[in-house]
Chains A and B, each alone.
Chain A
Amino acid sequence: MAALGAWRLLRPGRRWFSETVAGAPSPPRGPLYPPVVASITAKSKAAKSRRLQRFNERVQAAATVEEKLRLYGKLQRPKYTVYPQTFALNADRWYRSFTRTVLVPGMPPRGAAAKPPVAVAAAGATLEAGRAPEPGAQAPAVEAPGDAVAPGAAAGELPHVDIGELRSLACDALLQESFYQKKKRPFLYRDQDHTPGPFLTQLVSTLAASLSGHNPLLAASSLDLSPEVNYYWHHGEEAVVHGHRKGRVDPVRFQIDDNPHLQIRVPKQLPEVVPLESDLGDVPVIDHKPSKLPLFKKQYENKVFIGSKVADPCCYGHTQFHLLPDKLKRERFIRERLEDQIEVVYRSNGIASLFAWTAAQAMYQGFWSEADVTRPFVSQAVVTDGKYFAFFCYQLNTLALNAETIKSNPRKNICWGTDSKPLYDVVEDGNVKGFNDEVLLHLVHFLLNRPKEL
């Protein structure tokens, strides 16, 4: 009986308990069972990495940049507030390690070649005038001496710019603020708001306006007074020290909240200075916790902001101007016998502010630490205390500073910076004594910087 029943079962007859059609090949199917992955809610390292992966996918798949920024900074935890203008000793080494920045003294190559070509371009102009007397050939003749000073191509415009005119504008602004306009006495410890602040505003606005004829990017720019620049990022890992989350490994969070005195934003990006993967030096490695700088933790909103919202067409940065407060004036450092820290103040301000600004610009374009930048973001800054000016140029090559992404990331951000030089010696009786043209020239170069196609 049983064998007869089994024989009938074995025959390939009509199988009423299965649904396959006889003769048709079964279509290639995926795996029968769902993938075996870690749990989402368990208290395990695998579960944590799966949660992190889901979060990354969610941020990556966000429809708009505002949504992406909102999800990026949604979780609030205690974070270190990094102040660009700080009196901490050797702060610029610490800031370079937090932001993975290489400091290159001096100005980037296109700027370094700019100083000699002032004479060369003038000589080139006379050469070209002697070589090609007819006006039709003037245009190609200009290119020939221009090619000879290829790195200083941006300085080719300098003969057209009347330095005497700009010098008189700068002196007028200085004299108006410090001498001619009768003001009340400065408020206590607010000397910077009395004279250098208004002087910087006047100087930059008049110089930018008069140079806008030479630089079409400036003609489309947007000038902000006392804007807000914020950036939030993770770098490194630590274990939570106390509390109900004690012992868990967390990323180290940082936030920069900066208020430059003045900033110029443009609709087109500045050109890259060196290629994306270049390596110009070493990033300092500091073994101590950031709180030893001193740096303190606070928990508040994680903001990423360049100075205006995402909808603004002027979403790239050109130049920032920072004014050092009274607390960080030179006389104070000299009095406390910390002369070498004077330059540190300028450098840390330049590096931190520019990193925050360029990184926020990159986030506005949709890049973030998991989706690293595909093109370098370049911005410039001038840090001053009213008399001494220091110039900085920053190229952001990477945003991936997390503990996981930094392992496979060879790129470093680069910052070029000069030492601080005085613009003038003293203002007396309606005269500016010892005006330094070099500093003004540098400032003009900064304002004339623009993409190559413009």
Chain B
Amino acid sequence: VFPGVRQAQWLTKTKLVEGLPPAVQGIVDNPALGLQELEERAKHVVSHARLWDTAEVAPRREKYCPVLFENLIHICRLMSGKYPSLSKRMLARDCRIAATWERESILLQVRGLSGILMNSVSPIPPVASQEEILATREHVLETFYPIAPTIDLQEVNVYQELNDTGQCFRDGYPYSHPHTLFFLESANVRTDRFRPEQLRAKMLMFAFGNALAKAKALHGNDPKVLEQPVVVQSIGTDGQLFQFMVFQLNTTDLVSNDGVKNLVWIDSDQNLYERAQCVPEVKKRVVTKPAGISGFQPDTFKKFLALYLHGTV
């Protein structure tokens, strides 16, 4: 009906900021990290996922999307040779998330498989400064009168208000802070995949759910403004287009429309490469498109790596 992110913003009481936060941008621009040499490896990795991985002519999206993700994570993980504290991360697949909250007398909840979750031992430090958080008080949430904000949401009788990422992990788990969520749209048929806008909304809702569950586990169930905001990142892709998101939960007081709001930084529709040609396209005996990856954008990979390194570097 209308862009999903706006609806998700109202439901989670969030203010949107375009682009990545300055802390992450600083990691991207930091020359000491040696991101230039990794460009070559990133290009190889993209070629491997899109061109070389299969004995057939061209791999399908169900195959190349997860393979591309695994290869990118492998390059990021290899950085732990340089930064040993990076090894304090653990990937968990098929995590189920459950979080409930009230929003102007409507009870909402997020449930379901939240993609691939990367946990770390230590939390990400807050990205926005104290002034920015207080400044969100003035921000007014967009309403969609006369459309009810819960349009297109499934109404369900909830018998048990479940509220933990402990739904996924038991107590005493050392890697207790959710760091980044990864969403892979790898269905072969285009109609089974989420469109970029819907993918961003899904990322926002699940990041919010994880952050809320973590905040309730740390500070209890009472709604209040958090002194230590909880930060959860999120990356979504369909194999070519990447969406980056950093979400900061500032308050669990979600019933009213005023007061401190949560913040989200979104960098949307970043192409990693223009096209991947498995067989050269020949028109009238002239090669119009040679085989290989064309239009590789190293910045997208740098942002991916920066989001991975955020919190330890």
Mark out the residues of chain B between 41 and 96 whose CB falls within 8 Å of any chain A CB in the assembled complex.
Answer: 41, 44-45, 47-48, 51-55, 66-67, 70-71, 74, 77-78, 80-82, 84, 86-87, 90-96
Contact B170 A182 (CB under 8 A): yes
Q: How far is the CB of B208 from chain A (nearest CB, A)?
A: 21
A263 and B94 alpha carbons, distance in the complex (Å): 23
State whether A206 and B92 are in contact (beta carbons under 8 Å apart), knowing that A176-B173, A223-B71, A309-B52 are contacts in the complex: no
**Most A Cβ at <10 Å: residue of B78, B84, B92:** B78
Give the Cβ gap from B149 to chain A, nearest Cβ, in Å: 32
Q: What is the CB-to-nearest-CB distance from A208 to chain B, in angstroms, rounded to a whole number?
A: 8
Q: Determine if A355 is an interface residue (Cβ-Cβ < 8 Å).
A: no
B165 CB to closest chain A CB (Å) equals 10
**Are A202 and B90 in contact (CB-based, < 8 A)?**
yes
Are A223 and B74 in contact (CB-based, < 8 A)?
Answer: yes
| A176 adjacent to B70 (CB under 8 Å) | no
Interface residue from A169, A181, A313 paired with B87 (Cβ < 8 Å): A169
* A223 to B70 alpha-carbon distance, docked (Å): 8
Least distance between B41 CB and chain A CB atoms (Å): 8
State whether A181 touches B77 (Cβ < 8 A).
Answer: no
Q: Mark A407-438, 1 if CB is under 8 A from B, else 0.
A: 00000000000000000000000100000000
Q: Determine if A181 and B84 form an interchain contact, defined as CB atoms under 8 angstroms apart.
A: no
Interface of A, helix, strand, loop or mixed by DSSP: mixed
Q: Is A399 an interface residue (CB 8 A)?
A: no
> Which residue of chain B has its CB nearest to the CB of A176?
B90
Contact with A along B130-162 (1 / 0, CB 8 A): 000000000000000000000000000000000
Contact of A312 among B52, B78, B84, B174 (CB under 8 A): B52
- CB nearest to A228 among chain B residues: B55
In contact, A209 and B78 (Cβ under 8 angstroms):
yes
User: Known interface pairs A210-B87, A311-B51. Does A181 touch B92 (Cβ–Cβ under 8 Å)?
Assistant: yes
Residue A205 lies at the interface, judged by CB distance under 8 Å to chain B: yes
Answer yes or no: A172 CB below 8 A from chain B CBs. yes
CB neighbours (8 Å) of A212 from chain B are: 78, 80-81
Within the assembled complex, what's the spacing in Å between the Cα atoms of A260 and B175? Answer: 29
A309: chain B residues within 8 A (beta carbon): 51-52, 55
Decide if B22 is an interface residue (CB 8 Å cutoff): no
- Beta-carbon contact of B52 and A176 below 8 Å: no
Against B, the Cβ 8 Å flags (1 = close, 0 = not) of A205-217 are 1101111111000
Interface pair B175/A219, CB less than 8 Å apart: no
- Given A176-B173, A182-B170, A312-B48, A303 and B55 contact (CB-CB distance below 8 Å): yes
Within the assembled complex, what's the spacing in Å between the Cα atoms of A318 and B96?
36
Enumerate chain B residues within 8 angstroms of A210, measured Cβ to Cβ: 80-81, 84, 87
A357: interface (CB < 8 Å): no
A222-B77 contact given A176-B92, A181-B92, CB 8 Å threshold: no
B48 and A181 contacting across the interface, CB-CB below 8 Å: no
**A-B residue pair count with CB separations less than 8 angstroms:** 97
Q: Closest approach, in angstroms, between the C-beta of A27 and any C-beta of chain B? A: 45
Q: Answer whether residue B167 sits at the interface, using C-beta atoms and an 8 A cutoff.
A: yes
CB neighbours of A352 from chain B (8 A): none
Contact B44 A313 (CB under 8 A): yes
Q: Does A82 contact B (CB under 8 A)?
A: no
Residues of chain A lying within 8 A (CB to CB) of residue B33:
none
A309 to B52, CA, bound (A): 5
Contact A430 B172 (CB under 8 A): yes
The answer to whether A222 touches B48 (Cβ under 8 A) is yes
Given A176-B175, A182-B169, A202-B90: A209 and B52 interface contact (C-beta under 8 Å): no
Residues in chain B near residue A218, CB distance under 8 A: 78
User: For residues 158 through 216 of chain B, which have their beta carbon under 8 Å from a beta carbon of chain A?
Assistant: 167-170, 172-175
Q: How far is the CB of A431 from chain B (nearest CB, A)?
A: 11
Question: Which chain B residues (87-112) contact chain A, with CB distance < 8 Å?
Answer: 87, 90-96
Contact B48 A180 (CB under 8 A): no
Which residues of chain A are within 8 angstroms of B55 by Cβ–Cβ distance? 228, 230, 303, 305, 309
Chain B residues, Cβ within 8 Å of A228: 54-55
> What's the least CB distance linking B277 to chain A, in Å?
13
Q: Distance (Å) between the CB of A355 and the closest chain B CB? A: 19
Partner of A172, one of B54, B78, B90: B90
Q: For the complex, what is the distance from the CA of A224 to the CA of B74, rounded to whole Å?
A: 10
Name A313's closest neighbour in chain B (CB-CB). Answer: B44
Among B41, B52, B74, B169, contact of A181 (Cβ-Cβ < 8 Å)? B169
Q: Is the CB of A308 within 8 A of B87?
A: no
Q: Evaluate contact between A308 and B52: CB separation under 8 angstroms.
A: yes
**From residue A171, how far is it (CB to closest CB) to chain B in Å?**
10
The answer to whether the Cβ of A198 comes within 8 Å of any Cβ in the partner chain is yes
Interface set, chain A 296-326, CB cutoff 8 A to B = 303, 305, 308-309, 311-314
| Chain A neighbourhood of B78, CB < 8 A | 208-209, 212, 218-219
**Distance between A432 CB and nearest chain B CB, rounded to angstroms:** 13
Residue pair A182, B87 in contact (C-beta under 8 Å): no
**In the assembled complex, which residues on chain A have CB atoms less than 8 Å from the CB atom of B174?**
172
- A179 on the B face (CB < 8 A): yes
- The CA-CA distance from A417 to B226 in the complex, in Å, is 57
Residues of A within 8 A of B170 (CB): 179-180, 182, 430
B74 / chain A contacts, CB cutoff of 8 Å:
205, 209, 222-223
A293 touches B (CB below 8 Å): no
Q: Does A173 contact B (CB under 8 A)?
A: yes
| Complex interface: chain B residues within 8 A of A209 (CB) | 74, 77-78, 80-81, 86-87
Question: Which residues from chain B contact A179 at a C-beta distance below 8 Å?
Answer: 170
Contacts of A183 in B (CB 8 A): 94
In Å, the complex CA distance between A202 and B91 comes to 8
Q: Which residue of B lies closest to A311 (CB)?
A: B52
> In the bound complex, do residue B81 and residue A213 qualify as a contact, i.e. CB atoms below 8 Å apart?
yes
Partner of A173, one of B52, B70, B90, B173: B90
Q: Which of A166-195 contact B (CB under 8 A)?
A: 169, 172-173, 176, 179-183
Q: Tell me if B81 and A308 are in contact (CB < 8 A).
A: no
Q: State in angstroms the CA–CA spacing of A173 and B52 once bound together.
A: 30
Contact of A213 with B82 at beta-carbon distance under 8 Å, contacts A183-B94, A202-B91, A206-B77 already known:
yes
Q: Is A285 an interface residue when CB atoms closer than 8 A count as contact?
A: no
Cβ of A50 to closest chain B Cβ, rounded Å: 33
Seed contacts A181-B92, A220-B41; 4 additional CB < 8 Å A-B pairs: A219-B78, A223-B71, A311-B47, A313-B44
List the 8 shortest-distance A-B pairs measured between CB atoms, nearest first. Answer: A213-B81, A209-B77, A212-B81, A309-B52, A308-B52, A180-B173, A305-B55, A312-B52
Which residues from chain B sit less than 8 Å from chain A, CB to CB? 41, 44-45, 47-48, 51-55, 66-67, 70-71, 74, 77-78, 80-82, 84, 86-87, 90-96, 167-170, 172-175
List, sorted by A's number, 29 A–B pairs whose CB atoms are closer than 8 Å.
Answer: A172-B174, A173-B90, A176-B92, A179-B170, A182-B96, A182-B168, A183-B94, A202-B90, A202-B91, A205-B77, A205-B91, A209-B77, A209-B81, A210-B81, A210-B84, A211-B81, A212-B81, A213-B80, A214-B81, A219-B78, A222-B74, A230-B55, A305-B55, A308-B48, A309-B52, A312-B47, A312-B52, A313-B44, A430-B172
